[in-house]
Structures are given as structure tokens and as C-alpha cells.
Amino acid sequence: MPTTSEPKLISGNANMPLAKAIARRMTMHRGANLGLVDARVERFNDQEIFVEVYENVRGEDMFIIQPTSNPANDNLMELLIMADALKRSSAKRITAVIPYFGYARQDRRSKARTPISAKLVANMIAQSGIERVLTMDLHAAQIQGFFDIPVDNLYASPVFALDIMKQFKDNLDDVMIVSPDVGGVARARELAKRINAPLSIVDKRREKPGEVAEMTVIGDVTGKKCIIVDDMCDTAGTLCKAAEVILEHGATEVHAYITHGVMSGPAVDRVTKSVMKSLVITDTIAPSESVQSAPNIRIIPTAPVFAQAILNIWQGNSVSSLFETPTLEPVYEGQFGG
């Protein structure tokens, strides 16, 4: 049976606004209607997930847009069941677009008798019939190696760099990038290089998960506008504490650029009451109403970069080209210009 000449998008319930935004962007790029495939992803009374695809997908290049954010288990099962439905409907290729990859924090055995859940999830995704994964800012880069299928890991730092150069264009010389822990230094250094800024590190020591015993600032932040860079913000306890410590060490103001706004429990309240002037997150996880209405939280869209990455995968072009500023600026159509 003849196939369409365009990629086809389908979405679960995890982040429908982002999926629709990606479809709009791709429609604009292609000059053809690339709306989401008509399907229903529902629950039986016992909360089992049921998927039915209403359109023919035989021989099609399918892209499932589904972050595995809270509720992580439900959203993960939606992804796997949608993949199975497409595979059994003879889709030619299935790519999972997972803007936020859940279970990524469990990427190694930190203690005896603990799981490596990220590897288990990778196995489940590959076994479901998915042939490629497109994601953003994996918590640990080595998770790409957990998959036996290709993984394209996009980075938020090129987008953040464009935004920082716009927001701080009059005093870029005063900006300092701060990694909130030693493990995030590579991510922070990458952003610092892009905007030609110095780098500082907050060394934190945990007594147990979610609690921080003490913090030390490595580097001189005196008189600097400090920008904390990390891949996710969960309860925001560590982030807000780090902002306080940085100010105590002489910084003039503190901002934060975080890729994934998990924002669990008291996170929004903490950020609102914190000493941070602003928290910038992306929409890889659908923001709640409280996040959207918080006065010092700003959301950067990821639909432009995901739409272009999907088109590049479909056309067989380079995805890594999106890491370069000259390629990324037109994608965002001057949103961060001048």
C-alpha cells in the first residue's frame, strides 16, 4: 500500500500541548498538514491502559511523543502500549520522542541490592518495537549506551545560551555559570563555553536523598550574576539552598536554568519564596497551573528544536547540527535575538 510522503506524529496523554506545538511547527516547515494521528489512549475502570489508532499507519514513519514524567509508570506504559499498537499495525519505523526520560536517576548501583532501573526501562522500550529514541538532556549521558537502538540526545544548553545572551546582553561580563554539584560540571562547562563565562561549582554533601547537609562554593562569585545550571528541578530544596549560599558568598543575584521542571510537592512555593530572581525551565514536562502562574518562573518552548530534530531524522539528516548556534537561531526565528 502506498505511504504518505510525510512523517506521522502520535501522542499519549503525558504532554499533549507540547505534541500539538511540535505538530504545528512541522506543519509550518513542511507546508502540509501534519496534525497528530487520530487515536484514543484511555483507561479501563481498573486503570489498565487501552489504545486505539483510528488512522491507517501501514508502512508509515511514526513518531510517538510521550515524556515519561509524573505519573511515570502510567506514561511509560502508554508509550509501550502505543508502540505495540503501531508495530502490530505494520508501521514501517517507530521513533519514541521522549522529551523527559523518567527513571534516569537510577543509572547505576549506588548501594548493594539496588536496581539499575534506567537499563530496565531501556530494555522495555527496545522490546516494544521502538527502533529509535529522541530525548533531551538525559540525567546521565551513559544511559544512551543502555539502549541497543539509536538514541539522539538533544541538549538544552544551546537554547539556554541564546536566551542568556538576550536576557543579560548588557552585562554578560558579570555572568558566572554555576554547577549545583560536581556531577553536573560537564553540563555547566558546556554552557559557560557557549557564552564565554567563568564557571563555579557548589559542592554539596547529602545525608540522604532530598536532604543536603552542607554546601561549599568553589570559585569566587563576588559581584557576579550567577546562573545555576542543571538538568532537573524536583522539590527545589537543593536549588534554593544553593542560591542562598551563592548570595552569602558575595554574588549580586542568582538565576537558574533547568531543563526539566519536575516541580514536585513544595517546589513552586519554595521557588516563589526563594532568593532567586528567576527560574527558567523548558516545557519537556507539561507545566502545572501553579508553575505557569509563578511570578519568577519562565518557560522556554522546546517544540522548535524537537520539530526540527524529527524532520532531520525523517529526512536522514544530522541531528547534532542542532547543537550549533547558527543552525539553532533560525529554528527559534529570532526569539532570542537582539
Question: Does the annotation list 203 as a binding residue?
Answer: no
pLDDT at 3 over 60: no
Residue 233 belongs to some domain of the structure: yes
Average pLDDT over every residue of 238-264: 96
The pLDDT, as a whole number, for residue 205 is: 73
Residue 141 shares a structural domain with residue 17: yes
CATH classification of the domain holding 239? 3.40.50.2020
CB 278 within 8 A of CB 255: yes
CB 63 within 8 A of CB 10: yes
Question: Does the annotation list 66 as a binding residue?
Answer: no
pLDDT tens sequence across 50-64: 999 999 999 999 999
The pLDDT, as a whole number, for residue 2 is: 47
Residue 116 shares a structural domain with residue 255: no
Answer positive or negative: Cα dihedral of 259, 142, 80, 309.
positive
pLDDT at 235 over 80: yes
Residue 123 shares a structural domain with residue 57: yes
Residue 40 shares a structural domain with residue 125: yes
Question: Does the annotation list 127 as a binding residue?
Answer: no
The pLDDT, as a whole number, for residue 211 is: 60
Residue 3 belongs to some domain of the structure: no
Question: Does the annotation list 231 as a binding residue?
Answer: no
Question: Does the annotation list 139 as a binding residue?
Answer: yes
Residue 295 shares a structural domain with residue 316: no
Residue 338 belongs to some domain of the structure: no
The pLDDT, as a whole number, for residue 285 is: 98
Question: Does the annotation list 302 as a binding residue?
Answer: no
Residue 337 belongs to some domain of the structure: no
Question: How many helical (H) and strand (E) elements, i.e. helices and strands, does the chain have?
Answer: 10, 14
Residue 92 belongs to some domain of the structure: yes
Say whether 298 sits in a helix, a strand or coil: strand
Residue 125 shares a structural domain with residue 182: no
Question: Does the annotation list 107 as a binding residue?
Answer: no
Question: Does the annotation list 40 as a binding residue?
Answer: no
For a pLDDT cut of 70, what percent of the chain falls above it? 95
pLDDT tens sequence across 65-101: 999 999 999 999 999 999 999 999 999 999 999 999 9
Average pLDDT over every residue of 242-252: 96
Residue 75 shares a structural domain with residue 134: yes
pLDDT at 249 over 50: yes
> Strands, DSSP E only, in 59-167?
61-65, 93-98, 132-136, 151-154
Residue 168 shares a structural domain with residue 149: no
Residue 92 shares a structural domain with residue 189: no
Residue 22 shares a structural domain with residue 143: yes
Residue 245 belongs to some domain of the structure: yes
CB 136 within 8 A of CB 281: no
pLDDT tens sequence across 10-42: 999 999 999 999 999 999 988 888 899 999 999
Print the domain residue range for 17. 8-155+303-331
pLDDT tens sequence across 186-227: 999 999 999 999 999 998 776 666 565 688 899 999 999 999
CB atoms within 10 A of CB 170: 7
Residue 230 belongs to some domain of the structure: yes
Question: Does the annotation list 335 as a binding residue?
Answer: no
Residue 288 belongs to some domain of the structure: yes
Q: How many structural domains does the chain have? A: 2
* Burial group, residue 126, by CB count within 10 angstroms (0-12, 13-18, 19+): middle
Residue 294 shares a structural domain with residue 170: yes
Active-site residue list: 204
Residue 49 shares a structural domain with residue 90: yes
CB 229 within 8 A of CB 178: yes
